[in-house]
């Protein structure tokens, strides 16, 4: 597995990470034994960058990773997040970036994960009630205490990144980036490069839609949150399916899957970009890993650019209430 460096201070991770959210939340029921098998397989194949958060499954996802970490901690570059607060029953209570909460959330994650330090600790969403300087200052104190090695932000805008970087080095920004979500190309990605911040792309396969495996929401579990995602709704899904079909046509010519083409495209956008697709199947994991070896020609990249230019994406990436919390 090829490696990439996030930030300027030497955080080296596998070129492809593994997003673990769906193993515990949001995408319907899952099997723990199968999830553990995927995690083991990822590490065996050199995917060492595991991404979780305290809100995924209200702590259950961190507890899942703990079962791997107690045996293979040295094989893992561990990333987790704080800031999205949920009640024990899963209800969302808001965003908290206060210094006291930063310290308490970190200690709680360390306990659930069963580790002495977190490699990359992100603020999951920026708290508009708390100056970013205060939040990052509290995160910096975690580094000084040896509880955290590197700092990150998620879904922060360019101005927030600049202010945060004035307090402490930010190794990575994690935001949504894919063939159907390219907002970050306008201001955020250039700011990351100006500041020496690596970019971690979540939902690089459009929550599975870019694989071509979701023709309608009927194939999703009843409690799958994508049923409420705007881009999956009837008024948008047909338009978005045309983008997927156009990408699939290029993939067929290249002799790869649409998912592999989508991941390879992201990897070609810069050596500072690390996608973190999630999966609960070892076969999908192997398919994704193969994308890291896919070299796209200039002609193929231009064909993809032509598709993106002629196929507009329909619908917001989150419902309105959730969109209010991104790019803060």
Q: Which two tokens stand for residue 215?
A: 């023709």
Q: Is residue 323 a part of any domain in this protein? A: no
Q: Is residue 264 a part of any domain in this protein? A: no
Q: Lowest mean pLDDT of 86-95, 181-190, 237-246, 313-322, name the range.
A: 313-322
**Contact in structure between 125 and 175 (CB atoms under 8 Å):** no
Q: What digits encode the pLDDT tens for the residues 180-195?
A: 999 999 999 999 999 9
Q: Mapping DSSP to helix (H, G, I), strand (E, B) and coil, where does residue 159 land?
A: helix
Q: What is the DSSP string of 22-37?
A: GGTSSSS---HHHHHH
CATH number of residue 150's parent domain:
3.20.20.100
Q: What digits encode the pLDDT tens for the residues 6-47?
A: 999 999 999 999 999 999 988 888 899 999 999 999 999 999
Instruction: Compute the distance between CA of residue 308 and CA of residue 88 in angstroms, rounded to an integer.
Output: 42
Q: Is residue 85 a part of any domain in this protein? A: yes
Indicate whether 328 pLDDT > 70: no
Q: Which two tokens stand for residue 184?
A: 């970050």
Q: Lowest mean pLDDT of 124-138, 165-179, 302-316, name the range.
A: 302-316
Indicate whether 254 pLDDT > 70: yes
| Prediction pTM value | 0.95
Neighbouring-strand partners of residue 165: none
Instruction: Give residue 318's pLDDT.
Output: 85
Q: Is residue 308 a part of any domain in this protein? A: no
> Among this protein's residues, is 122 annotated catalytic?
no
Q: Is residue 305 a part of any domain in this protein? A: no
| CA distances, 64 to each of 36, 74, 86, 105, 282 (Å) | 8, 17, 18, 17, 17
Range of the domain at 187: 3-207+269-293
The count of domains in the chain is 1
As a whole number of Å, the CA-based R_g of the chain is 19
Indicate whether 320 pLDDT > 90: no
Indicate whether 223 pLDDT > 90: no
Q: Mapping DSSP to helix (H, G, I), strand (E, B) and coil, where does residue 179 land?
A: coil
Q: What digits encode the pLDDT tens for the residues 274-311?
A: 999 999 999 999 999 999 999 999 999 999 999 999 99
Catalytic residue, from 27, 56, 121, 150: name it: 56
Q: Is residue 129 a part of any domain in this protein? A: yes
């Amino acid at each position: 597995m090829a490696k990439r460096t996030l930030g300027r201070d030497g955080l080296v991770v596998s070129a492809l990470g593994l997003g673990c959210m769906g193993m515990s939340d949001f995408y319907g029921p899952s099997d723990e034994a199968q999830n553990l098998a995927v995690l083991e397989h990822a590490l065996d194949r050199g995917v060492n960058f595991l991404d979780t958060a305290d809100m995924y499954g209200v702590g259950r996802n961190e507890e899942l990773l703990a079962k791997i970490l107690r045996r293979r901690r040295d094989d893992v570059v561990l990333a987790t997040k704080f800031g999205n607060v949920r009640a024990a029953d899963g209800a969302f209570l808001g965003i908290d970036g206060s210094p006291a909460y930063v310290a308490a959330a970190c200690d709680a994650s360390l306990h659930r994960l069963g580790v002495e330090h977190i490699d990359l600790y992100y603020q999951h969403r920026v708290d508009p009630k708390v100056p970013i300087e205060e939040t990052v200052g509290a995160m910096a104190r975690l580094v000084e205490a040896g509880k955290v090695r590197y700092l990150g932000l998620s879904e922060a805008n360019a101005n927030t990144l600049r202010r945060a970087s004035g307090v402490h080095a930010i190794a990575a920004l994690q935001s949504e980036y894919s063939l159907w979500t390219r907002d970050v190309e306008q201001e955020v990605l250039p700011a990351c490069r100006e500041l020496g911040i690596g970019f971690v792309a979540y939902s690089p396969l459009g929550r599975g839609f870019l694989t071509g495996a979701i023709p309608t929401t009927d194939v999703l579990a009843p409690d799958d949150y994508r049923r409420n995602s705007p881009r999956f709704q009837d008024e948008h899904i047909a338009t978005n399916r045309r983008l997927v079909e156009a990408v699939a046509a290029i993939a067929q010519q290249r002799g790869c899957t649409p998912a592999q083409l989508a991941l390879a495209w992201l990897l070609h956008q810069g050596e500072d970009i690390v996608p973190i697709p999630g999966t609960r199947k070892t076969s999908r994991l192997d398919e994704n890993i193969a994308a890291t070896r896919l070299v796209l020609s200039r002609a193929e990249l231009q064909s993809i650019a032509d598709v993106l230019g002629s196929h507009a994406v329909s619908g917001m990436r989150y419902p309105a209430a959730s969109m209010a919390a991104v790019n803060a």
